[in-house]
Amino acid sequence: MASIDTPSTPKDSTTVPLITRLHGWVISVDHKRIGIMYLLMSFLFLILGGVQGLFIRMQLWGPNGTVVDADTYNQLFTMHGTTMIFFVLMPMLGGFANFVVPLMIGARDVAFPRLNAMGFWLSFFGGCVLYYSHLGAEGLYGAASAPDIGWFAYAPLTSPAFSRGNATDYWILGTTLTGVGAISLAVNMVATIFTMRAPGMRLTKMPLYVLLFLVDAILILLVFPPFAAAQFMLLLDRFLGAHFFDPQVGGSALLWQHLFWFFGHPEVYILALPAFAVISEVIPVFSRKVIFGYLSMAAATIAIGFISCGVWAHHMFTVGLSDTLDTFFAGATMLVAIPTGIKIFNWVATMYGGRLRLQTPMLYALGFLTLFLFGGLTGIMLASPPFDWQASDSAFLVGHFHYTLVGGILFAFLAGFYYWYPKMFGRMMSERLGIIQFAFTYIGFNALFIPMHIVGMLGMPRRIYTYTDPSWTIWNQISTIGAFMMAIGLLLFLYNFFSSLRHGKIAGDDPWDAWTLEWNTTSPPPCYNFKEIPTVRSRRPLWDLKHPDDPDWKHE
Amino acid sequence: MNEQYQHDQQPSTPQQGILMPRPTAAPLVLAFGVMLIACGLVLNYAFSAVGLVLVLGGLARWIYILASGTGEELVPLEREPAPVKISRVQVEPLRPGMAGHRMKIPLEVHPYSAGLKGGIIGGIAMAVTALAYGLISGRGLWYPVNLLGGMVVPSVVHWTPAELAQFHFMEFAIGTVIFGFTAIAVGLMFGILLPTMPRWPILWGGIVAPVLWTGAIYSFMGILNPALGEHIDWEWFFVSQFAYGITVGIVVVRTEKIPVSGIKK
């Protein structure tokens, strides 16, 4: 049985020395603190990945650029992609899952709090290992000081013959560690959601946010283990000469592509579903309406999770698969558009006729809708193999996936930051700065990535460190200007985030007049979340409390 | 008892506080050890040895706090959240004619089956027109079918005219699926949208929609699949779209309307 002891959590943090406070954070197993640490981790790596992106854009400012050399450019886009996927967006996912889900289901913590902490630290140390390659990867060979194999690490680039030194090894180890961390997170989410929901919260009464994270966690459990296996095989290739991916001695380079993209494409949806979850909370609250079509949204989510596991080879149309495979994967990919379209229509229908409040979270939600729709439409274009053959390795594709990953997912997470910040810290972020930041980020983003579609159609390949065609110059220059505008926007966000900790307006417990359980406790919440576990009867329990004459459970 | 937090079994004791997991460095130490074990592969096996010691130490501490029951602590209660403000504002359902709203709800609509039927019959009309084109132009009965399959199968763009005129099962199957799905989906859309169009629904379905659709396809084909676009006879493309649109329009409009409430039944 548990013992009863004096609390180790300090009552008043302002009277406690900084070192003690930091110690309190690093040994914490509280889901809210771990969530915030995930988010802070994502900020750290966002700065690193962002600077890499800026160097890429500066190098491509004009023909025959000399800002960096070809090898450094290869390292830059490798580190940029790896950092943004594994160490920026994944930790944001972890942060929002950890902070919000237990509160929203009326639980006091996650099912496995210590495993949760271990998962976070594994993810963080994974990032440290990757970046240690800058210091320690030269090994005995004096070779590349950072991985230069792309975020997808295609064979045979990763073989010892083409990747001397240890940079690639650090890439494998770093991403494997963070992958194990992600699996820990997913196990926790599944167990927490299935076993710790408040009384009365049946599976069909869960807020969409929770349902989406449940499907997301199941996806993680499905695709990260095969990826870990692939990385282990790659380690065996590199250290023990196993030749899994070496076609010269009976291995298959294509096998790596299959294994990688079996993880890599669902990974896009692993990142997108939490973004959808955030949007499914923000849009109803700021439209003052219940979400439109809950059941169809739930069905679409499950359909996306299911279909996303069967589309990976659309990343491989250009390797020369058979017509049969091309056809199957093209059809499956186009099929994803149906549930995704249902979601977009439902979000729009939620806004229709609502009393819109155009505050910063809603602005980002609207930004998400426009940008994700654009990214989705170019995705359907790329799902057609004849088009993909022309555009696959061009800047068009770079533009497309940035619209999905940044325009879609990052914008949704930014909406989430503004929305749940008052709950996390008890203060509001500056609305004025938020609007200015949104303008910089939205305009900068479009200036950065729309020209990539054009210059891609003009024939500019991706992953080239320089070019000679002068007709591409203007588009690249617009892109570079857009990149700096976006960087200003994100710096403003970070400034807003940290300055509001001290100077933000006191938020109160329910600043948005929202409807889910996390707004029914203090801001920030106590470590036990709720003094008494609430009982719920509908998907909007706080609405029921606020409107006893017209509760939701009468209509659901 | 496994690690699962015990509040499920033990109700809160508001007078004393609430039992919560006690902070511990065990997960951090264990994770750091795992990282060192991994890094030992590339740095030196001494790192792995130190990592192993840390993993065992972290694991031992973890097991100890679970086994000894020292994993929880009593956390005192903090301030209560602000009481929920009761709102007496009623949510009024939208009704036709309500002031301040543009709501227009039709009292009668065509059933979904009208769109479905229209899509199928219109699809047959379109297929007959397209196949007739293949025969009349001398390019072969299967020419339009193969082109449709070529939307997905990249190798079709390299086929010779003779190959395009022949029957190919794969392209036939793909073309049939694409065609059938699209014809029914667009038919359902027509079934819903056409009655909402002003004055002459058949005109919208038979002329305006095919013109817009053909124009859009023509514009995008240069980007989507320029090689395939060269094979398409755009006049006939429009004629087949027209055949589809006008047929769907007639089928939908001739179907008897039902009350809106009938849809839910």
**Would you say the C-alpha torsion A235, A186, B70, A521 has a positive or negative sign?**
positive
pLDDT < 50: residue spans in chain A: 1-11, 140
For residues A31 and A98, the answer to whether their CB atoms sit within 8 Å is yes
pLDDT band at B232 (very low <50, low <70, confident <90, very high): confident
pLDDT in tens, A26-58: 999 999 999 999 999 999 999 999 999 999 999
Residue A317, pLDDT score: 92
Q: Could you give the CA distance from residue A275 to residue A408 in angstroms, rounded to a whole number?
A: 7
Beta bridge partners of B258: B109
- Are B43 and A129 contacting, i.e. CB atoms less than 8 angstroms apart? no
Residue B62 is predicted with a pLDDT of 95
Using a CB-CB cut-off of 8 Å, the residues of chain A touching B22 are 5, 8, 29
Task: Give CA–CA dist A262/A212, Å, rounded.
Answer: 20
**Residue A542 · residue A516 · CB < 8 Å:** yes
Task: Answer whether residue B89 shows pLDDT above 80.
Answer: no
Establish if B92 touches chain A: CB-CB under 8 angstroms.
no
CB contact under 8 A, B8 and A170: no
CB B183 within 8 A of CB B122: yes
**Cα–Cα distance, A434 to A359 (Å, whole number):** 9
CB A504, CB A427: distance < 8 Å = yes
- How does pLDDT run across A524-533, given as a tens digit for each residue? 999 999 999 9
Q: Please give the residue of chain A at the shortest CA–CA distance from B62.
A: A114
Q: Do B73 and A173 touch (CB under 8 A)?
A: no
Scored b (16 or more CB within 10 A) or e, A346-360 reads bbeebbeebeeeebb
- Residue A286 identity (one-letter amino acid): F
Q: Is the pTM higher than 0.90?
A: no
Task: Provide the 3-class DSSP secondary structure of residue A151.
Answer: coil
Q: What is the model's pLDDT at position A170?
A: 94
CA distances in angstroms from A223 to A92, A116, A331, A339, B250, listed in the order given = 19, 19, 21, 21, 50
DSSP H or E segment with residue B193: helix B169-193
What is the least distance, in Å, from the CA of B234 to any CA of chain A?
20
**pLDDT of res. A441:** 97
Domains of chain A: 32-554 (1.20.210.10)
Residue A1: predicted pLDDT: 35
Maximum Cα interatomic distance, chain B, rounded to a whole number of Å: 91
Q: Which amino acid is at A267?
A: E
Q: What residue spans define the domains of chain B?
A: 6-75, 108-264
B30 contacts on A by Cβ (under 8 Å): 118
Q: Encode B141-189 in three state secondary structure.
A: CCHHHHHHHCCCCHHHHHCCHHHHHCCCHHHHHHHHHHHHHHHHHHHHH
Q: Given this model, what pLDDT does residue B261 score?
A: 64
So what's the pLDDT on residue A554?
A: 86
Instruction: Characterise A47 by phi-psi region: left (phi > 0), alpha (psi -120 to 50), beta (else).
Output: alpha
3-class SS of residue A64: coil
Structure confidence by residue, pLDDT tens digits, B27-65: 999 999 999 999 998 888 999 999 999 999 999 999 999
DSSP string, A521-549: S-SSPPTTS-SS----SSS-HHHHHH-TT
Which of A30, A98, A108, A114 to mutate to probe the B interface, most B CBs <10 Å? A114
Q: How far is it, in rounded angstroms, from Cα A337 to Cα A326? A: 17
Residue B250, both tokens: 């007639």
Query: What is the per-residue pLDDT for A10?
Result: 41
Output the DSSP codes for B31-95.
HHHHHHHHHHTTS-HHHHHHHHHHHHHHHHHHHHHHHTT-SEEEEPP-PPPPPPPP-----PPP-
CA distance B157 to B164: 9
A197, A107 contact by CB (below 8 A): yes
- Select the residue of B41, B72, B153 nearest A323 (Cβ to Cβ): B153
Both tokens of A435, joined, read 């609007």
| Residues B150-165: tens digit of each pLDDT | 877 777 878 888 888 8
Hey, is the C-beta of A331 within 8 angstroms of any chain B C-beta? yes
Q: In angstroms, how far is CA B129 from the centroid of its own chain?
A: 32
* pLDDT at B104 (0 to 100): 65
